[in-house]
Amino acid sequence: MSQQHSSRAQAAQHPTAIAIREKLSAALPMQHLEVINESQLHGTPTDDSHFKLVVVSEAFSGQRLLQRHRSINKALASLLAGPVHALALHTYCPEEWAQLHQVPASPACRGGSKNS
């Protein structure tokens, strides 16, 4: 699995990000995983509630997007019932990732305390 740097590495130090990594590592063989805490973009800078995940796994080969997302949601079910409010999922098989190597930027927050 590839290593993360800067803000991504810092996000990995948060308890929820660590739990996400552990649960996904136990559930899927991964070639690449990024756990990015985007809570600060949603008016919750000290919260571990909004995450972007980039997951590259051979297990995704031949799967539709919905199947990939379901496998991630199943692995993270206990976190989705608790501290995690939102997940942006970017799931790829190794062949797709080899051609892409980047994910779309997250959209601006349209809810929460920023619009109150």
Judged by DSSP in three states, 66 sits in helix
Could you give the dihedral angle defined by the CA atoms of residues 96, 101, 105 and 106, in that order, rounded to the nearest 10 degrees?
A: 60
Q: By C-alpha distance, which of 15, 50, 11 is closest to 33?
A: 11
pTM, two decimals, is 0.78
Confidence of residue 108 (pLDDT cuts 50, 70, 90): low
How does pLDDT run across 7-64, given as a tens digit for each residue? 444 444 789 999 999 999 999 999 999 999 888 765 655 578 889 999 999 999 999 9
| Structure-model confidence comparison of residues 83 and 103, the more confident one | 83
Class of domain 6-103: alpha beta
Q: What is the pLDDT of residue 115?
A: 46
Q: Where are the domains of the chain?
A: 6-103
